[in-house]
Amino acid sequence: MQTVGQIAAGVAHEVKNPLAVLQLGLGFITRLPWSNDPPILAVLKEMGAAIERVDAVVGDLLELPSLTS
């Protein structure tokens, strides 16, 4: 049976890879001229904040093994 640390690391890896793609895509989109339109900019900022929240959750998940030992 896998340990909590191994499971957490596997889940973190599976989440962080697509998250990195989202971050790169968002960075690309924010450099486009039309991204400065206020409604679009607001959505892009929300998307960036959501990515940061998921990244923080993954970070917390990786700390889980130290809390259970």
pLDDT tens digits along 29-52: 999 999 999 999 999 999 999 999
With CA atoms as reference, report the closest residue to 57 among 5, 2, 8, 6: 8
Residue type, 44: L
- Residue 65's pLDDT band, with cuts at 50, 70 and 90, is confident
Q: How far apart are CA 57 and CA 54, in angstroms?
A: 5
Q: How far apart are CA 59 and CA 12, in angstroms?
A: 8
**In the predicted model, is pLDDT for residue 1 greater than 60?**
no
Instruction: For the chain, state the CA radius of gyration.
Output: 16
